[in-house]
Structure 1
Amino acid sequence: MTRMNALVLGASGMVGGAICRQLIAEGHTVTGVSRRPLRTDLPIHHVSMDMLDPADCRAKAAELSHITHVFYAGRAPHGEGGNESVEDNLAMLVNAVEAISAAAPGLKHVNLVHGTKYYGNHLGAYKTPAEEDDPRAPVPNFYFDQQDWISALDVPWSWSAVRPPLVFGFTPGKARNLVSVLAAYAAIMKELGRPFSFPGTETAFDCLAECAHSDHLARAIVWMAGAPEAANQAFNITNGDIFRWRYMWQHFAAYFGMEAGPPLGISLAETMAEHEPVWDRIVEKHGLAPTPYRDIALWPYADYVFAPTWDIVSDTTKARLAGFHQVLKSEQMFFDLFDQYRAARLVP
């Protein structure tokens, strides 16, 4: 195994943090770039870099001459449900990578963390299972611009891009995570004496879905960066299975010790805001770590996850043929993550 001197851009995020952990577990050296300080005990050298400022990128890259691999998991600031700026996201990548490439003569690879919005799965029904060479969705998307830019470079290093579906993990204090949203929703419904009902429509309940554990995704990303077979390509990465919320919901209900109710067809953003006092009561009743309601569940995000009335499925054959064979059962992923939140006294 070639030892990497890795730079993770966006190291404070769910995916960026998972990449850091995976790299360290495999014995690599890690430098993390983020707007905020990293909350971790891992041996990560932190660099604060404004990736929208070319001069700051060049100044900070001066101390990164040892970098051999870059993992780009950065995102320009944007509101939940808002359009992500193509211009800003492209500028961030260009500014950072140009500066690092100039400062690090031993650079070997740059990986881009993208997603299945590449195929337009957020817009409506699309071709499934989605394959990496499928036509792009007919709307602006910074994934397209970033990949076009990096693939056109005449440089001695290679690149790769990963396209996961929804990604979940253990992210205390970050409410944009379906795991903590589901656990909080279940706790509130139980406290109110209500069944555990799917918030979306009957149609959404029966559509095919998939996801990726952030740790599983990180393993795939680190594999891409070190595998010659993965150079200069994009890969779909999922847990490896597909499911319907109808049947997964029964397992969730059993885990939380609740009765599963019928689909409600409601907006959690509209109906759950009033239950902050209920959450505060649950925290006190169960002796949980005091977590503000806004930090445990981002209800608009749950509405987004449960809204599609079409199948969301990616073909992962390309990655398997190239050498990445690991899979994970999504049901077990949810249970393991629920257990982590419970062990941390964040949910009852």
Structure 2
Amino acid sequence: MSMAAMTAVVLGASGMLGGAICRRLIEDGHKVVGVSRRKPREPLPIPYLSIDLLDPADCRAKAAELSDVTHIFYAGRAPHGEGGNESVEDNLAMLVNAVEAVSAAAPGLRHVNLMHGTKYYGNHLGPYKTPAEEDDPRPGVPNFYYDQQDWISALDVPWSWSVVRPPLVFDFTPGKPRNLVSVVAAYAEIMRELGRPFSFPGTEVAYDCLAECALASHVARAAVWMAGEPAAANQAFNITNGDIFRWSTLWPRFAAYFGLEVGPPLGISLAETMPAHAPVWDHIVAKHDIAPTPYSDIALWDYGDYVFAPTYDIIADTTKARRAGFHDVVKSDRMFTDLFDRYRAARLIP
């Protein structure tokens, strides 16, 4: 059964997931407008609007160009760090301003999809109930996910909503270092150049915990499915690749890809130990004649620490989405090697 045509606006279109949603919508033949503070590094063949989502007047003025919109995909974020302390007030205001402006301008609006994550369950705070299910109790800490979902679910409107909750999401993101794919690749090449084994940076306990992730295009496919599927209306869904793994299983496969020997887990902080190796990266770039990417643009070491730190399982139950009709899966180890291949093909890593 073919999905009804959408005229979609994607808010946060310059981000990893916003861009992936734009590409998915284009591939499916829908009309798309991207909204972001600044134009993406590699814009897609769609119109873009620059809107300050914290400014209600700017939202209302620019929304006049969006009168034919039927679907909103909201992947916007206020600026934040790795610690999970994202501004509840700013993130709620951005959503409210955007949705109120577009819904007032677009009488044919049918659905609003929100991009959240499995931090909803407090998986960044410490051990929690796993596998996490969509109706699990919220931990007693502030999180803009709760405020956004509570606001949109309380509206008395003719359109429906849905929420995507992915775990760690990865993709090919040249120039954006907050990506485990380029972090691992840069780490591997630096260890090679230093003549050291390829060792998991985290602890032995973290090495053996269960983990999961999601490919950006997979999450985007799920978001578009939710927006067009009546069975998904007014609900939240966990969306992962569909498999789980241990770093102790994936790490030797990474080592094999890069042709390195695996060493024992180190229990170190990448953010503390890796910045000193910037000259090594510059040497690697020159030695292999790859694209001259600045060290700060290839790997965000703080993010690597964040991903490898948990000493407890991080798993979300995805049966709710499958029961509603979303059956796509991605093999996570294959996802990583495919993305490494893309970085190599772009001459960003040796």
> Scaled by the length of structure 2, what TM-score is found?
0.98
Q: Deviations over 1:18-74 (max 9, x none)?
A: 000000000011100111112335321100000000000000001100111000000
- Retained in 2: the 8 A contact 1:23–1:29? yes
How far apart are 1:338 and its partner, in Å? 0.3
1:107 is aligned to 109
2:186 is aligned to 184
How far apart are 1:138 and its partner, in Å? 1.3
Distance in 1, Cα, partners of 2:38 & 2:83: 22
- Retained in 2: the 8 A contact 1:268–1:300? yes
Distance in 2, Cα, partners of 1:287 & 1:70: 43
Distance in 2, Cα, partners of 1:289 & 1:52: 37
Q: What RMSD over aligned residues (CA atoms) do the two structures have, in Å?
A: 0.7
1:77 is aligned to 79
DSSP-derived class of the 2:292 partner: coil
Give the percent of matched residue pairs that are identical in Structure 1 and Structure 2.
79
Distance in 2, Cα, partners of 1:66 & 1:171: 31
Q: Which sections of structure 2, spanning at least 5 residues, go unmatched?
A: none
Q: Which sections of structure 1, spanning at least 5 residues, go unmatched?
A: none
Q: Within 5 A, what are the aligned runs for 1:220-239?
A: 220-239=222-241
1:126 aligns with 2:128: yes
1:215 is aligned to 217
Distance in 1, Cα, partners of 2:102 & 2:40: 21
DSSP-derived class of the 1:44 partner: coil
1:244 aligns with 2:269: no
Distance in 2, Cα, partners of 1:283 & 1:5: 43
DSSP-derived class of the 2:240 partner: coil
Q: Deviations over 1:201-230 (max 9, x none)?
A: 000000000000001110111000000000
- Retained in 1: the 8 A contact 2:84–2:124? no
Which amino acid is the alignment partner of residue 228 of structure 1?
A: P
DSSP-derived class of the 1:12 partner: coil
- Retained in 1: the 8 A contact 2:197–2:262? yes
1:16 is aligned to 18
1:262 is aligned to 264
1:313 is aligned to 315
Distance in 2, Cα, partners of 1:132 & 1:63: 35
Which amino acid is the alignment partner of residue 201 of structure 1?
A: T
- Retained in 2: the 8 A contact 1:30–1:43? no
1:323 is aligned to 325
> Scaled by the length of structure 1, what TM-score is found?
0.99
DSSP-derived class of the 1:221 partner: helix
Q: Within 5 A, what are the aligned runs for 1:167-206?
A: 167-206=169-208
- Retained in 2: the 8 A contact 1:38–1:46? no
How far apart are 1:83 and its partner, in Å? 1.3
The size of the alignment, in residue pairs, is 348
Distance in 1, Cα, partners of 2:34 & 2:287: 38
Distance in 2, Cα, partners of 1:43 & 1:3: 18
2:277 is aligned to 275
